[in-house]
C-alpha cells in the first residue's frame, strides 16, 4: 500500500510540474524565462525596453518575426522594441551592417523583405556584394546606402553588439530580453513544452513576454 501511495504522489507531483511548466500566462523563473544575474541599464524611461537578438539567416528568427511585429504593435506606447543583429562570427558582420544601415536610413520597412529573400526566395545575402545587389533591386539610393553602410556610426553599432551579447549571455536566437532583466525565447519554452509546433511555441513566448512586460509598474 505504501508503494502505491508513493507512486501516486510521484505521479501527482509530475502532473503539477507539467502544469506549471505549461503556463506561459503565469511564467516561472527558471522555467519559461531566466533572470540575468546582473540587470543591464536601459534608456527607455518609463517604457519597457524589449531587445530581440536575431540573425537574418536563422529560419527560427524568420518564423518569429511576424509574431513579434504583431505583438509590438499591440503593446503600443508601453514598450520600445530594439532589434539586435547578432555577430557570433565575423561572417555575420555584413548582415549586421545591413540592418543598422536600414535603421539609420529609416528603411526598416525592408526588414521583412530581407528575411523573405533569404528564406522564401532562397537567395543568399551573406556577402557585401549580394547585399548591394539586393538593395539596388529595392530602388534605394545606392550612394546614400553605401556611405551609411561604411560609416563610423554603423560600424560602432556593430562593435557594440558583441558587448550586448556578452552582457545578456546570448548563445542562440531568437532571444528576447525584457527591461534589462529577463530573457525568454521559443527554445527556452521548448525545453518544457515539448511536442508543440514552432508556431505554438512562438505564441507561448509572446504570452511570457506579456507577463514580463507587466512586471514593470
Q: Where are the domains of the chain?
A: 49-214
pLDDT (tens digit, 9 = 90+) per residue, 110-160? 999 999 999 999 999 999 999 999 999 999 999 999 999 999 999 999 999
Task: Dihedral sign for Cα 149, 150, 156, 159, please.
Answer: positive
Do 101 and 131 touch, CB atoms closer than 8 A?
no
The architecture in CATH of the region 49-214 reads 3-Layer(aba) Sandwich (3.40)
pLDDT of residue 193: 84
Helical packing angle, 128-137 and 142-149, nearest 10°: 150
> Which H or E element spans position 42?
none
Nearest to 44 by CA among 70, 81, 69: 81
Q: How many beta carbons lie within 10 A of that of residue 41, not counting itself? A: 7
Please give the model's pTM, rounded to 2 decimal places: 0.88
> Which H or E element spans position 24?
none
Q: How many beta carbons lie within 10 A of that of residue 10, not counting itself? A: 10
Amino acid at each position: 500500500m505504501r508503494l502505491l501511495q508513493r507512486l501516486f504522489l510521484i505521479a501527482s507531483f509530475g502532473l503539477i510540474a507539467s502544469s506549471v511548466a505549461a503556463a506561459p500566462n503565469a511564467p516561472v523563473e527558471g522555467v519559461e524565462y531566466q533572470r540575468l544575474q546582473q540587470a543591464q541599464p536601459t534608456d527607455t524611461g518609463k517604457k519597457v525596453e524589449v531587445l530581440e537578438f536575431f540573425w537574418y539567416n536563422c529560419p527560427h528568427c524568420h518564423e518569429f518575426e511576424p509574431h513579434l511585429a504583431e505583438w509590438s504593435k499591440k503593446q503600443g506606447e508601453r514598450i520600445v522594441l530594439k532589434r539586435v543583429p547578432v555577430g557570433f562570427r565575423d561572417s555575420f558582420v555584413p548582415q549586421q551592417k545591413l540592418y543598422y544601415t536600414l535603421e539609420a536610413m529609416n528603411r526598416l520597412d525592408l526588414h521583412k523583405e530581407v528575411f523573405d529573400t533569404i528564406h522564401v526566395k532562397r537567395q543568399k545575402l551573406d556577402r557585401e556584394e549580394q547585399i548591394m545587389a539586393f538593395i539596388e533591386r529595392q530602388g534605394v539610393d545606392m550612394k546614400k546606402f553605401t556611405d551609411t553602410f561604411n560609416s563610423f556610426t554603423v560600424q560602432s553599432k556593430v562593435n557594440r553588439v558583441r558587448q550586448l551579447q556578452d552582457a545578456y549571455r546570448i548563445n542562440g536566437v531568437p532571444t528576447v530580453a525584457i527591461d534589462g532583466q529577463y530573457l525568454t525565447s521559443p527554445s527556452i519554452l521548448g525545453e518544457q513544452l515539448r511536442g508543440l509546433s514552432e508556431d505554438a511555441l512562438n505564441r507561448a513566448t509572446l504570452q511570457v513576454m506579456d507577463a514580463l512586460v507587466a512586471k514593470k509598474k
